[in-house]
Structure 1
């Protein structure tokens, strides 16, 4: 899924990835930005963050609202900096996973994520 064209206005805001390439099992809801686990098992999630030039930012992978992992993109004036991470999670049917702006990161104004480098993807590894 890609989050192009999204603007983050506040700490803790959920990312909503509107460009969905594949949603087998229909677990991802692009209206809420949440993946709801359709089948219990072990899942692998990848996520990346690439804000506009000159902006530093941090995003969190969350499981049922609890922090799991972070991706940080630092400030570079003349280029773009991408943060990424991956997590392997044991999920139960109905668990929710989503990406949100860090609650600890300072946001002085809105942060625009308009590049295809903003992604959230995952797959079921095993039952």
Structure 2
């Protein structure tokens, strides 16, 4: 062990370049003497030894003083879009916006089909008075003069054939007035207008042949009350007649209507006729 110590001291003296100044402790000399070993002259210093292994890293030092803020760098390239996030909760209803400007009017639509026939309307205003006719010949003196405003009676006729439209009924168009006491029948609208409430009787007669088959209805304020029908299977003229008694109020209207697709046969010698008369006044 003593030898080893000496060898280490010798090496250290070589590394420091002061081999001659190395002092050997006295106790070491005594040891060597006691061992009976004779000390010789120190040899020539050897070559420097190989560099030792680097020591371990020291303890990290404290953080340095914070440097100044650097200049702002350029904007980076935009990254790809991220994934769509989950749907959020529905927000509160916003305030109503202002009304927009009106749009451009659209094109006219396709005309619709004809609607059902409406209710018979009120009688229109009386037309303008026609031109005065020529003065007739003086008639024979009458025996009795009727001058009673409570008398109501009329008869109107037609002397030519008449047909309704194929898809729509038509009022029978009378062209001649035989009797109309106190003007209760309006020939311009083919309508009897009750001006005096009471019980009335009405009779109507129409002809038909092989070319004209008729179906006639008497209407009371637009409702069908009484009808007549005639059809000729041979080349002869046939007639149909019907009669009805009605209790009318003031303002009630009576009309004769020819159903759609039918016709009546009327002539000079066999006119179609419509007759009405007041039986008893109730006012």
Same fold (TM over 0.5): yes
Residue of structure 2 in register with 1:93 after alignment: 250
Residue of structure 2 in register with 1:8 after alignment: 163
Q: Post-superposition shift, 1:49?
A: 1.3
Runs of 4+ displaced beyond 4 Å? none
Residues 96 and 119 of structure 1: CA distance in aligned 2, closer, same or farther (over 3 Å): same
Larger Rg: 2
Q: Post-superposition shift, 1:19?
A: 1.1
Contact 1:52 1:111 in 2 (8 A): no
Q: Post-superposition shift, 1:112?
A: 5.0
| TM-score with structure 2 setting the length | 0.41
CA distance in 1, matches of 2:200, 2:176: 21
Instruction: Give deviations 1:14-47, integer Å, cap 9, x for gaps.
Output: 0122211111121111111000011000000000
Q: Post-superposition shift, 1:12?
A: 1.9
| TM-score with structure 1 setting the length | 0.86
Indicate whether 1:43 and 2:197 are aligned: no
Residues 59 and 112 of structure 1: CA distance in aligned 2, closer, same or farther (over 3 Å): closer
Answer with 72-81 or 91-100: which moved more: 72-81
Answer with 92-101 or 110-119: which moved more: 110-119
SS in 1 for 2:157: coil
Considering fraction of residues, name the structure with more helix. Answer: 2
Considering fraction of residues, name the structure with more strand. Answer: 1
CA distance in 2, matches of 1:25, 1:6: 29
Residue of structure 1 in register with 2:37 after alignment: none
Match of 1:56 among 194, 213, 223: 213
Instruction: Give deviations 1:56-88, integer Å, cap 9, x for gaps.
Output: 211011101100101111223210111110000
Count of aligned pairs: 122
Residues 78 and 52 of structure 1: CA distance in aligned 2, closer, same or farther (over 3 Å): closer
SS in 2 for 1:50: strand
Q: Which runs of 5+ in 2 are unaligned?
A: 1-155
The CA RMSD over aligned residues, in Å, is 1.7
